[in-house]
Amino acid sequence: IVQAISQNSRCQPKVAQDLRKSFIDSLEEDIRDFLINEAELHTYDDLTKVNPVTPSTVLKCLQARYSAKVFYTHAGCTLVALNPFQPIPDLYSLDVMREYHSAPQPQEFKPHIFIVAEEAYRNVQGQVEPMNQSLVYSGESGAGKTWTSRCLMKYYATVAASSQKCQDTVEKIERRVLGSNPIMEAFGNACTLRNSNSSRFGKYIQLQLNGSQLLVGASVQTFLLEKTRVAFQAPNERNFHIFYQMMKGATGKQRLEWMLPLDQDFAWLPHAEKTLEGKYCTSRMCLLKHEKRNLRRHLACVDYCSLSLFMLCAGFLQKTADLLQVPLDELQSCLTVRTLRAGKQNVLKLCSQSECSVRRDCLAKVIYAQLFDWLVTFINNSMCADRSMWCNFIGLLDVYGFECFLLNNLEQLCINYANEKLQQHFVAHYLKAQQEEYVTEGLQWSFIRYQDNQGCLDLIEGSPSSIFSLLNEECRLNRASDAKQFCVRLQKELSHNASISWDKFSKQPHFTVAHYADKVSYQIEGMMEKNKDPVPPELISLLQNSQDSLLHSLFADGDHESEGLRGHSKVVTVISKFRNSLESLMKILHSTTPHYTRCIKPNPDCRPLTFKREEVITQLEACGIVETINISAAGFPIRIPYGNFLQRYGLITNTRLTVQMNQSNSPEMSNQAVLGSAVEDVLNVVLKRRASNSTLSPDDNNNMVHCGRTKVFLTHSLLEMLEVHRNRVRSQKAFCIQCCWRRYQNRQRNLKRQAATRLQAGVRSWLVRREIRKWHKAASVIQTKWRRWRVWMDALAEAELDDAEDFIENEASSALPKLDRLLKERGSVQLSSIQEPVMVRGWPIGLAMASPPSITVSLTATGFQRIMSMMACLKIPFRNGEYKVKTNQFDQGVASIRAQPRGSIKVHLQRSPLLYADMHPVHKTDVVTGFNQILLERP
């Protein structure tokens, strides 16, 4: 608006000035109204709620939150993190991690780095395209990127290891991932002017997840190690942490082994009295004992390279040769004599003092660089999973921040170039691409101006002429480097680019680049030599012939840094290698879903809880936070193609297109109008549930959703509503599935019960039939025995009642079964010898016959005694289970009890005196037997 007013001021100066003045006054009044209530500024957890969005209002809101010890704030699609420069209790605890991980909607919680981490993790779980995720945290040196990397690694090692499956493997990977971080910082971080733990290399950590989103491995990709720091440190800066940790933590035995005197000072280890960042802990790596010892010995050798300026002291050279396990004379020759190629012959030439120092520095740098690469390779081999074991990854990019020192050279140029590429990726992904996509999809959109750094990138890496191309061309020429000549060439080739400038009054050749963050002046002196990074072939050959196994393996291939053996046209410069690694990194970022976090350094002195407005406002303007907030507040941060939208949310309306998602030849899938209509049906269901009279028409420009030509644009609030509705529908369908499954299980259970019942009934019937057959057989045996016994009893009764002669005569013609010997003996008695009837003696049951004197016997015994008394009276002898029946009539010559008595008979009891005749087994009511029969037969 201000620009339009300024353009109209040429035609109508007075009117335009009045309009501009009134607009500025109203804007300032809005800002004053917003800033007047400072007590509520710290409650703005999202800067898109700030109205109006200006650098002043954003800065004031961040300052209020920082004063309230709130260090994270949403800025639309990004997260702003302010470094507190002191530990904050319980801000990154395990309980906080679990709270954000288990929350249904983490966005409803306070802004935190864990929200970004959880969003990326849930994208992998939900298979949201692109499924691989990248977390990019950018900012100046000291803004807190390394600490953010630690927190993210700990978070993913915690939430991605929550399953009990393969717990030992997960814990092993977790220990290695977390254990590798301090080791990498020890070897790659150093104390600089702006940060006490500044990363001097870039790293991209891939956390590898399997199909169940469990952590199964990790890998580290590094680029641009600042190995020149080994041999040179700027004033008030230090070398890599590992050297100081070795000097402080070495034991007496280790110092003796490494030949490090306790009171020895090293020129390459300045400011050794400062507090160490951490402890040297190679024990957390899976290094073998001899590998640890060799690694420390080589680091000690690098330290010894700094003992003498020219490495001419025989004592120090001897110790260095012993540590490297190379001959002393060969080491001295490589450092003081160089080989020149003259045709087919080699010419030896003594080196000057400066050349000797260059060779000494080169030896130290190449050993340290190879040790660092070996360390990274070893870490990757120890924790990287096989490609078949993981399917997705979450990448953490920890890259050095933007740098601007008093003296800047090739290292700062490469570092700032990397930050330019990341800024350009952010601009292309969030700002430029988002606005262009709105127009392509048919949204009514007014473009928001933002700072595009493409001109700066063209200056550094463009074609055909750029700073990098001219530097590489200068390095490939076989001539001495001239800084002034190169500066003149830069002015000639790149003067048309507005991003580069020169100070004509400066005595040192230099050039100034206007980066997205700030203007940086680079010294040209020494830039070409650093870009060449030459390694004399004599040094490579010397290290290849070392007796040390690790050092020999590092240089065994002969390709490490040995460009001097090749033709000049094939020299691979530092810039070329850095560009290649950075391009591979950018390809990975473009193929993943990025999540940006802007780390802000609140003060240049790294003092705790100190907020410098000038420092913060510069960083806000440099990284485009204000433009990001404007675009995020005015636009739709969520953009989903129709097909992907229906795949995830089509189940809300049970559309048939959801079933056809996997059918590539389906005609409906290529018809965007059909897909758009299905998407609108889904959105109408969700919006009607929110408000009964809310609907979505194809031409409706809803403030929460817009259906474009091929995509649907959503806000975070509507996306949350869709997720809630989707979860509700899934719960209902899951409930239906559970009901059907339980019904099926009940039916199967009933069928199994019925089958078991039939089997049991069959078995039981078979058992019963078998038992009944046994019963029938036993009953048959009993019946047979009973019938036989009954016949026998009948025969005995007849023998007892009838005349013996009749019994003997009828025995042969009787139909009864044949009697045994006992019966015959019992029946064979003599009856003719007794003429007169006599009194029967010893009647046990009180029966007396006609013979005086009459005898009356009363039977008083009962039970067993009665039976024994009767058997005694009947005189039945016992012979081993056999018995012989003898009755009174046989002893006294009574022929038959049926005989007619001559006298009177007195019967005192109504019981038969007979033994067998009264015991007939057949129960017949109409048959009279025994003594009653005798009475009836009496005339």
Torsion of CA 659, 661, 665, 670, to 10 degrees: 120
Cβ neighbours of residue 726 under 8 Å, at least 6 residues apart?
648, 649, 651, 652
3-state secondary structure 228-286: HHHCCCCCCCCCEHHHHHHHHHCCHHHHHHHCCCCCCCCCCCCCCCCCCCCCCCHHHCC
Residue 40 annotated in ligand binding: no
Q: State the distance between the two ends of the chain, measured CA to CA, in whole angstroms.
A: 159
Helix (H) or strand (E) holding 638: strand 638-641
Residue 573 annotated in ligand binding: no
Cβ neighbours of residue 801 under 8 Å, at least 6 residues apart?
896, 897, 898, 914, 917, 933, 934
Task: Measure the CA–CA gap between 228 and 411, rounded to whole angstroms.
Answer: 9
Nearest C-alpha neighbor of 624 from the set 145, 142, 77: 77
Helix (H) or strand (E) holding 519: strand 519-523
Residue 49 annotated in ligand binding: no
Alpha helices in 462-600 (DSSP H): 467-476, 483-494, 527-532, 537-544, 549-554, 574-590
Phi, psi at residue 420, to the nearest 5°? -65, -40
Phi, psi at residue 65, to the nearest 5°? -70, -35
Residue 140 annotated in ligand binding: yes
b/e map of 567-604 (b: 16 or more CB within 10 Å)?
eeeebebbbeebbebbeebeebbeebbbbbbbbbbbbe
Torsion of CA 869, 874, 875, 880, to 10 degrees: -80
Residue 144 annotated in ligand binding: yes
Contact present, 399 and 519 (Cβ < 8 Å): no
Task: Measure the CA–CA gap between 798 and 915, rounded to whole angstroms.
Answer: 11
Structure tokens at 268: 């390459």
Residue 143 annotated in ligand binding: yes
Task: Measure the CA–CA gap between 588 and 856, rounded to whole angstroms.
Answer: 134
Alpha helices in 76-189 (DSSP H): 94-102, 113-125, 145-159, 167-188
Task: Measure the CA–CA gap between 641 and 859, rounded to whole angstroms.
Answer: 120
Residue 354 annotated in ligand binding: no
Residue 881 annotated in ligand binding: no
- Residue 512 burial by Cβ neighbours in a 10 Å radius (0-12, 13-18, 19+): middle
Contact present, 516 and 622 (Cβ < 8 Å): yes
Range list of β-strands (E), 285-381: 337-342, 345-350
Binding residues: 139-146
Mark the binding-site residues for ATP, compressed into ranges: 139-146
